[in-house]
Amino acid sequence: MSTQTPAAPDQTAATDHAGPDLLSVAMVTLGCARNEVDSEELAGRLEAGGFRLVDDAAEADTVVVNTCGFVEAAKKDSVDTLLQAADLKTEHGGRAQAVVAVGCLAERYGKDLAESLPEADAVLGFDDYPEIAARLRSIVAGETHQAHTPQDRRRLLPISPVDRAATELAVPGHGDVTTVGQGGPATGPRAVRRRLDSGPMAPLKLASGCDRRCSFCAIPAFRGSFVSRRPADVLAEGRWLGTQGVRELFLVSENSTSYGKDLGDLRLLETMLPELAAIEGVDRVRVSYLQPAETRPGLIEAIATTPGVVPYFDLSFQHASNAVLRRMRRFGDPESFLGLLEQVRSFAPLAGVRSNVIVGFPGESEDDLETLCDFLVAARMDVTGVFGYSDEDGTEAARLDGKLDEDEVRARTEHVTALVEQLNAERAEERIGERVEVLVEGLVDEDGDPLVAGRAAHQGPEVDGTTYLPDSTGLRIGDLVPALVTGTDGVDLIAEEIR
């Protein structure tokens, strides 16, 4: 998602919930949909702990910034947002008494971030989440919080996946669902999720962490080993979201293809998808982040053919050259990847397919780059994200030889980006004449003409383009509209409502 400035964050509490005498708090969320779930868990804990949630960080006593620590640009955005939030503090003439960093950047760097960024009053790690309300109260009261020393969270869980379910380690976004104002917990402490966005789509976390060892990725070290949520908890949270006006459930994790392996059944996702799609009020279920090497035929068929589950395949290819993929500690080649896409389209010819690729990885030759480009041409994907390689702290790739200089990485990235922009636009044009169902998410004004903005089934939230329709029939946010694609603008579609 796009970075939000503290003064007007999108991902904040929708309304004030309690009296004005309570300490107020604003949540500012950066990064991915998984972070959005974590923010809503924190918001629920804070509200249950006696804080009043507000939309505008400038009107809050405390500002909590849920940071992203994935790549260098995301880290910079997080630091900039914390500095902007610090400008809202009382010593600058604002209202805020404390600015607190949470999230991936905070967990990844801990005390080092606290020392290098004194503008933040505290840096809290994942283990602080269960007691977030108490932590914030003590910080506002002037107590000093000692930031944690970062450690590899993979070492805090049992090696065997099946032994992880009983862990008491804090795993963000894995709490059971209850709702504020509808009674207390049945037995023992339960997490509270508080929606911060009133839109018709909501992310729903399947799992956290990752057991893969991709040489370029630091996420497993600070997010930990892979831990699935129990199906009963996922379904309960899905049902609760259905009562909150959510019409599309967006299933998120670091690796959805591994769901259930630590619960003794790798096919749990296939069996759970029909139950999620049957939830009252929910019209769509969308699965994100599939590992190609783990994407089995049964899962492809379930996603492509289960009523209510959109045929959408978010496949993390990362590259196509077998030599580069081996150095990434991944598996695959153009033939196996194209075979996977052929399986997908045999079940659902109009399926949406997106992926990400890394360009300029250490040791990438010109032949490797050509292999990648040839694959992208043959793959006919709807959207491809292109990232230029950069070293990440603590990763194996940062120590590899064969590094390309920054100018060469930039040139290759620009070349591949231009290619995928053309290919994705051509793929969109292939959809002209196609019947789609558009989930209405907003209204926009285009040169004085009101338009409805939404997403067709092949378009994932925020990253896969938009479908626009003329606002001629009073459509409302949350409506699911049958439409015919009549034109394109890049990856965006222009459509007419079918009445």
- Joined together, the tokens standing for residue 211 give 């057991």
H and E: helices and strands count for the chain: 12, 18
CA distances to 62, 105, 155, 466, 468 from 108, rounded to whole Å, are 22, 5, 14, 34, 40
Query: Is 104 marked as a binding-site residue?
Result: yes
Tracing tokens 């500690």 back to the chain, one arrives at 329
Minimal CA–CA distance to 216: which of 70, 402, 366?
Answer: 70
Query: Is 214 marked as a binding-site residue?
Result: yes
Tracing tokens 């790739």 back to the chain, one arrives at 397
DSSP 286-333: EE--B-GGG--HHHHHHHHHSTTB--EEEB--B---HHHHHHTT----
Phi, psi of 28 (to 5 degrees): -120, 120
The upper half-sphere exposure of residue 307, i.e. CA atoms within 13 Å in the direction of its Cβ, equals 2
Query: Is 373 marked as a binding-site residue?
Result: no
Tracing tokens 């801990």 back to the chain, one arrives at 110
- Joined together, the tokens standing for residue 162 give 């099946």
CA distances to 117, 341, 454 from 481, rounded to whole Å, are 48, 28, 9
Tracing tokens 């911060």 back to the chain, one arrives at 196
* Residues of each annotated binding site: 32, 68, 104, 210, 214, 217
* Residues of each annotated binding site for [4Fe-4S] cluster: 32, 68, 104, 210, 214, 217
